[in-house]
Amino acid sequence: MARNSRRSDCPIHCALNVLGDRWTLVIIRDLLFSSRATFSELLNSPEKVATNTLSTRLASLEAAGIVEQLAGDKRYLLTEKGLDLAPVLIELVLWSTRHDQSVSDVGADLQLYLAQPQQFIEQIKTAARQRRINV
């Protein structure tokens, strides 16, 4: 049996092999929480990712089954696997807002999540699925 290229099978290590670079979660954030979906829209994110970096990350996310680009469409969409990252990103937002005074205020959305986390996550996933239907 061939050994995979990971150094360990620890779940954190495995997740970081896919998600653990500077730009991947920012790209997933844009696909999940904003209307950015095309390469140029993602490129114009406030963080200003470089063109080659964005290309590389999108290819990696496609290979991992997190993002797909539908045939004949210029938009990138999250797969169900990608949508399952919603709680991870939300918890990162919570952590960041607790520990970094300089982050943007996410007030109302954060309060809604804290009051009804499952409902909030389902609303986000439903909105992203709706973007897929409206292709």
How many CB atoms lie under 10 A from the CB of residue 98?
9
Mean pLDDT of the 92-117 span: 86
Per-residue pLDDT tens over the stretch 7-57: 788 999 999 999 999 899 999 999 998 888 999 999 999 999 999 999 999
Residue 68 is given by DSSP the state: E
Rounded Cα distance between 108 and 105, Å, is 9
Would you say residue 61 has pLDDT above 50? yes
- The residue whose two tokens read 């290590």 is 13
CATH classification of 11-133, choosing from 3.30.930.10, 3.50.50.60, 1.10.1740.10, 1.10.10.10?
1.10.10.10
**What length does the chain have?**
135
Q: Name the packing angle between helices 24-33 and 11-19 (round to 10°).
A: 80
Question: Where do the structural domains in the chain lie, given as residue ranges?
Answer: 11-133
